[in-house]
Amino acid sequence: MSDILSTTLSITGGFWLSLTLIAYAAALVVNKYCKGHPLAHPLITTSAIISLALLVSQVSVTNYQTAASFLHWLLGPATVALALPIYRQWHVLKHYGWRLLLSIVIGGVIAPITAWLGLWVSSASTALQMSMLVKSITTPLAMETASQINGIPALAAVFVIMTGIAGAIMSTWVFQLCKVNDTQAQGIALGTVAHAVGTAKALQLGDDVAAMATLGLCVNGIVTAIVLPVFFIGA
């Protein structure tokens, strides 16, 4: 009976697509109820709901990905849409020029390299190391970049989510410890290192922080997606 149910659900793309959208809508409500707490981020809640549904129905992740492939296709337009916040913050980028770009590049290099070194020292597999290198950019870019450098896209997405949550939770403490009081610097740090989840955190700190976080998110994501394949393709 369970085999019949598993087969039926695995080929019903509309069911899993609808369930994912409903789960995400519910996750937004939970996040709002929890006042935007990072641990109640919609990505976490949605993943938990879908994982539970897959476990109960005994449908494999591969079958789920096939059934809900339309959502994966949407990652392409979502990536292209990053051009919009870049355009909106173009005046800021022109004002600060190379100083802003340099700070984003430095942050975008230090964050993944330190994590990658831990895996390299422990002799982790090459695929795992490559997946870790994209941990600080937004999910659409991370998954595509990971596939180009022989990483594991699904695992890269996990690293991205974990990085964003950790950054959102620890950012306030780190800013206090390092005495970073400038809101623009806080925004750049959140967007560069903690990507979209960090940007969501920045929205709670003010519009100016969020604007800089958006800029950091976009610039670091684009630069990383271009540079990593150049150095590590075929690794």
Lowest-confidence range among 23-37, 190-204, 218-232? Answer: 190-204
Angle at 48 between CA 29 and CA 192, to 5 degrees: 75
The CB density around residue 126, as the number of other CB atoms within 10 Å, is: 14
**pLDDT given for residue 37 in this prediction:** 76
Instruction: Give the SS3 label for residue 60.
Output: coil
Residue bearing the bigger pLDDT, 55 or 76 = 55
- Cβ contacts of 95 within 8 Å, gap of 6 or more: none
pLDDT in tens, 162-178: 888 888 888 888 888 98
CA 23 to CA 18: how far, in whole Å?
Answer: 8
Q: What pLDDT, on the 0 to 100 scale, is given for residue 22?
A: 92
Percent of the chain with pLDDT over 90: 3
User: On the CB side of 48, how many CA atoms lie within 13 Å of its CA?
Assistant: 10
One-letter amino acid at 54 equals L
Do residues 207 and 222 touch, judged by C-beta distance below 8 A?
no
From the centroid of its chain, how far is CA 40? 15
Q: Between 209 and 75, name the one with better pLDDT.
A: 209
Give the per-residue pLDDT at 10: 47
> What is the rounded average pLDDT of the residues 58-76?
76
Tokens for 72, please give them.
Answer: 């994966």
Owner of token pair 């959140």: 190
Residue 65 makes CB contacts below 8 A (sequence gap 6+) with 72
Instruction: Take residue 73 and report the two structure tokens written for it.
Output: 């296709």
* Residue 23: Cβ within 10 Å count: 19
| Rounded mean pLDDT, 205-226 | 83
Is residue 98 classed exposed, middle or buried when 0-12, 13-18 and 19+ CB atoms within 10 A define those classes?
exposed
Average pLDDT over residues 91-115: 84
Mean pLDDT of the 87-113 span = 82
Q: Classify residue 179 as left (phi > 0), alpha (psi -120 to 50) or beta.
A: left
Find all residues with CB under 8 Å of 126, minimum gap 6, and list them: 150, 235
Write down the pTM of the prediction: 0.72
| pLDDT of residue 193 exceeding 80 | yes
Does 202 have pLDDT greater than 50?
A: yes
What's the rounded Cα separation, in Å, for the pair 132 and 114?
Answer: 10
pLDDT-derived band at 1 (thresholds 50, 70, 90) equals very low
